[in-house]
């Protein structure tokens, strides 16, 4: 065998690139994507995975090659050649990661901005184009201004207030007055969550929607997203918030528009008819203890333990 080494290097480089590109799209590490925003996050993640795979194969390949190729021959007691640095090599392996970091920084900032990270109230560029109301000059019209009643109905974000407490999420719907321990939204309508916490720092995480937001006492935070897949998805607290942090879970149900209307009606009547026994409780006139009682069983907490938690945080 007498193959020129630069050809071998070229073939190895092509193979490494192809494997990286394939694995970047087929790693299977992400859960189902259920929001319009998820695609952009996944593309960013896939690019990072492609780069990481290439670097992993390059570094590990060179190590394995060197271990075999430069292994000490039996009986060889001489020293290796005294090599002191290699300036061109140093420049190359500093410049390449610098370029990679800059590309990822700019790209991830673009995604963050497109998802409304800089201005959650203005994050309607994720909606399908035909839903965006335009005036005659082709400029987007502010929500609710000049929009026809139908388009206002379908475009206006569904507002939900999210309150994190040890150890539950409480969802309040300002439009309908519904208060619930799990989140229900209709498909294909933007949702705006107004997130805060009443005791310690929590983090509101929707893995299938690729969004996460700290919930901090005394500070309101917004998250907007548009669900595009009917189903039930986990809602997780992603900030260690106390002994029962691991139990601070609930679900987000994405309904069809009709099913969502039904849910709204069912819960509106349930709360009016039977406020104490319905799942969606009205907390405005119940204590923490009363409010948390239905969840205590799910969390495996004694009712007495809940009673001892910050007895006056609604005052
Ligand atoms: Cu928490």
Whether the upstream peptide bond of residue 259 has omega within 30° of 0, thus cis, is: no
Domain count, the chain: 2
Q: Which of 79, 114, 149 is the last residue before a domain boundary?
A: 114
Beta-carbon neighbour count of residue 67 at 10 Å?
A: 9
Q: Which residue has the tokens 């007895």?
A: 311
The reply to whether 56 and 177 lie within a common domain is: no
How many angstroms does the Cα of residue 167 sit away from the middle of ligand 1?
6
**Domain contains 79:** no
CATH number for the domain harbouring residue 161: 2.60.40.420
Confidence band of 123 (pLDDT split at 50, 70, 90): very low
The reply to whether 166 and 278 lie within a common domain is: yes
**Domain contains 165:** yes
The reply to whether 92 and 205 lie within a common domain is: no
The reply to whether 286 and 164 lie within a common domain is: yes
**Domain contains 147:** no
The reply to whether 182 and 110 lie within a common domain is: no
The structure tokens listed for 234 are: 């986990």
How many angstroms does the Cα of residue 240 sit away from the middle of ligand 1?
6
Helices (H), 84-206: 87-114, 149-155
The reply to whether 174 and 106 lie within a common domain is: no
Q: What value does the mean pLDDT of the chain take?
A: 80
How many angstroms does the Cα of residue 122 sit away from the middle of ligand 1?
28
How many angstroms does the Cα of residue 241 sit away from the middle of ligand 1?
5
The reply to whether 109 and 166 lie within a common domain is: no
How many angstroms does the Cα of residue 242 sit away from the middle of ligand 1?
7
The structure tokens listed for 163 are: 């309150």
**Domain contains 226:** yes
Report the distance separating Cα 161 and Cα 6, nearest Å: 61
Enumerate residues 6+ apart whose C-beta is below 8 A from 177.
Answer: 268, 271
How many angstroms does the Cα of residue 237 sit away from the middle of ligand 1?
5
Residue pLDDT, tens place only, 19-36: 999 999 999 999 999 999
**Domain contains 287:** yes
Confidence band of 139 (pLDDT split at 50, 70, 90): very low
Domain around 18: 5-69+87-114
How many angstroms does the Cα of residue 57 sit away from the middle of ligand 1?
39
**Domain contains 248:** yes
Reference 210, options 105, 126, 129, 121; nearest CA is 126
**Domain contains 242:** yes
**Domain contains 164:** yes
Confidence band of 278 (pLDDT split at 50, 70, 90): very low
Asked if 281 and 275 touch (Cβ cutoff 8 Å), the reply is: yes
Report the distance separating Cα 251 and Cα 269, nearest Å: 22
The reply to whether 162 and 302 lie within a common domain is: yes
The reply to whether 165 and 279 lie within a common domain is: yes
pLDDT at 63 exceeding the cut of 50: yes
Asked if 247 and 300 touch (Cβ cutoff 8 Å), the reply is: yes
Residue pLDDT, tens place only, 162-198: 999 999 999 999 988 889 999 999 999 999 999 999 9
Write down the pLDDT at residue 129: 42
Task: Find the Cα–Cα–Cα–Cα dihedral 280, 285, 290, 295, rounded to 10°.
Answer: 30
The reply to whether 94 and 184 lie within a common domain is: no
How many angstroms does the Cα of residue 140 sit away from the middle of ligand 1?
38
How many angstroms does the Cα of residue 213 sit away from the middle of ligand 1?
12
Enumerate residues 6+ apart whose C-beta is below 8 A from 142.
Answer: none
Write down the pTM of the prediction: 0.70
How many angstroms does the Cα of residue 281 sit away from the middle of ligand 1?
20
The reply to whether 97 and 182 lie within a common domain is: no
The reply to whether 38 and 171 lie within a common domain is: no
For residues 295 and 31, the model is more confident at 31
């Amino acid at each position: 065998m007498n193959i020129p080494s630069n050809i071998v290097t070229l073939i190895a480089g092509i193979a490494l690139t192809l494997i990286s590109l394939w694995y970047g799209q087929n790693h299977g590490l992400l859960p189902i994507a259920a929001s319009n925003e998820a695609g952009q996050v996944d593309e960013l993640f896939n690019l990072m995975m492609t780069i990481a795979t290439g670097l992993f194969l390059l570094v590990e390949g060179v190590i394995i090659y060197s271990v075999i190729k430069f292994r000490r021959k039996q009986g060889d007691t001489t020293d290796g050649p005294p090599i002191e640095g290699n300036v061109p090599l140093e420049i190359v392996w500093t410049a390449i990661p610098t370029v990679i970091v800059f590309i990822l920084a700019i790209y991830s900032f673009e995604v963050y901005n497109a998802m409304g990270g800089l201005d959650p109230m203005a994050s309607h560029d994720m909606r399908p184009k035909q839903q965006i109301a335009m005036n005659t000059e082709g400029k987007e019209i502010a929500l609710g201004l000049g929009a026809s009643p139908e388009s206002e109905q379908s475009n206006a974000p569904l507002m939900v207030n999210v309150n994190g407490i040890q150890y539950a999420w409480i969802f309040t719907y300002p439009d309908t007055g519904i208060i619930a321990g799990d989140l229900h939204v209709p498909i294909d309508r933007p949702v705006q969550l107004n997130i805060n916490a009443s005791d310690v720092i929590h983090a509101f995480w929707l893995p299938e929607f690729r969004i996460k937001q700290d919930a901090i006492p005394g500070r309101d935070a917004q998250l907007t997203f548009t669900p595009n897949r009917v189903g039930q998805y986990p809602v997780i607290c992603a900030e260690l918030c106390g002994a029962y942090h691991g139990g601070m879970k609930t679900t987000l149900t994405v309904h069809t528009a009709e099913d969502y209307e039904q849910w709204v009606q069912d819960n509106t009547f349930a709360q009016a008819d039977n406020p104490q026994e319905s799942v969606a409780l009205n907390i405005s006139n119940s204590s923490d203890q009363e409010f948390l009682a239905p969840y205590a069983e799910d969390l495996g907490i004694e009712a007495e333990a809940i009673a001892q938690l910050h007895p006056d945080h609604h005052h």
